[in-house]
Structure 1
């Protein structure tokens, strides 16, 4: 298990107005819309989610870094738990022809709007119950998804990632290190169910037997 930085390159490039999220609208009502994970969340205005989640190639740098870090080769299998619209899977497959990619996504809207290059490889489902056999994938990843689960589903999801991986695993979740980052996270988030410090996340890893790599992103 090791701390890695893949997603931080993308996360830090986005500018955020934390107070706008709580001053402009009723944050609770906006969050109630966001947790439907439909058009408003993915392609509505910025207050309800991504503000238009469109492919722009920014995930290619993450894909290249993962391929190098985990020594991926053609014929290997990669699973993305919480694949969204398939941007990272598309970039992985494009960067390494012959790589077998698969995704699991909860949102029907996201699957319907997944890039055509990888849409056939996406299944709808829950992270706590992965529909693949033990040790099926050479690498299992999950990017900014697991903090949207309640503890009981999170623990099952971590165990499932461990189960379907031959060896390599990586996840990225939101965390906070101080009161300012905690408040910024609470102001900004719309779908988060778990607000943890790094130490609390690491306790979850030990509790569930998760042995993969991890990254924490912060709202500084």
Structure 2
């Protein structure tokens, strides 16, 4: 197994959330809309997802810097983002190291279309599912990343996704939602709209080992 990281947690903790408010706001209807992963999920009402996910210069810069430094990325390094969404992290990575070769895929047409001009010009972006066999050769990338995507897969889909991340990447880092206490489990169940796999940290680590994933990982919690 790789190392437990703390790249995204500071950003995650900076956002306030009304857990009970979301749970009692026609939660099932909102979940169904969110799982379309299109405009409403990204830029519609907050009850369906992000509530307007806009590029904020520098917001993702600390995460980008940590990834570049931790994994020794430089000009010519190849990076794959599994579930890249709007690509704001990729944008910050390209600011810090313009010579990176970026590939990203997502199931959301709206998310891909909303990538910044910088990312669209320099990255290879396409629509694809994280749970399908990836169209790349073994160890094609210096780093494979996946942020806030894998918990949206069912367990048999996780097997393929984790195996493929392991196969195509020389190094890997994944971040997803988890819990450590009953309160955190309750909170994530109230808040999450698209999560399919509710596992605590010990269960996730067991799954990583079971599916042969040896890369780094991070959990975000709803405290």
Report the TM range for the smaller structure's normalisation: over 0.9
Among candidates 139, 143, 147, match of residue 139 of structure 1: 143
Aligned mates of 2:29, 2:164 — CA distance in 1: 33
Aligned mates of 1:20, 1:155 — CA distance in 2: 34
**Partner residue, 1:151:** 155
Aligned mates of 2:109, 2:52 — CA distance in 1: 16
Among candidates 199, 205, 210, match of residue 207 of structure 1: 210
Pairs aligned (count): 218
Query: Is 1:81 equivalent to 2:85 in the alignment?
Result: no
Deviation for aligned residue 1:21: 0.1
Deviation for aligned residue 1:9: 1.7
Aligned mates of 1:49, 1:111 — CA distance in 2: 16
1:162-173 matches, within 5 Å, as 162-166=166-170, 168-173=171-176
Deviation for aligned residue 1:214: 0.2
Deviation for aligned residue 1:121: 1.4
**Partner residue, 2:29:** 29
1:61-76 matches, within 5 Å, as 61-76=62-77
Aligned mates of 1:198, 1:49 — CA distance in 2: 24
Aligned mates of 1:36, 1:65 — CA distance in 2: 31
Q: Structure 1: any 5+ residue segments left out of the alignment?
A: none
**Partner residue, 2:51:** 51
**Partner residue, 2:201:** 198
**Partner residue, 1:127:** 130
1:112-123 matches, within 5 Å, as 112-119=113-120, 120-123=123-126
Query: Is 1:182 equivalent to 2:182 in the alignment?
Result: no
Aligned mates of 1:69, 1:210 — CA distance in 2: 18
Aligned mates of 2:179, 2:32 — CA distance in 1: 23
**Partner residue, 2:220:** 217
Deviation for aligned residue 1:68: 1.0
Q: Structure 2: any 5+ residue segments left out of the alignment?
A: none
**Partner residue, 1:108:** 109
Aligned mates of 2:105, 2:26 — CA distance in 1: 32
What root-mean-square deviation, in Å, do the aligned CA atoms of Structure 1 and Structure 2 show?
A: 0.9
TM-score by length of 1: 0.97
After TM superposition, which residue ranges in structure 1, 4 or more long, deviate above 2 angstroms? none
Deviation for aligned residue 1:134: 1.1
Deviation for aligned residue 1:130: 1.6
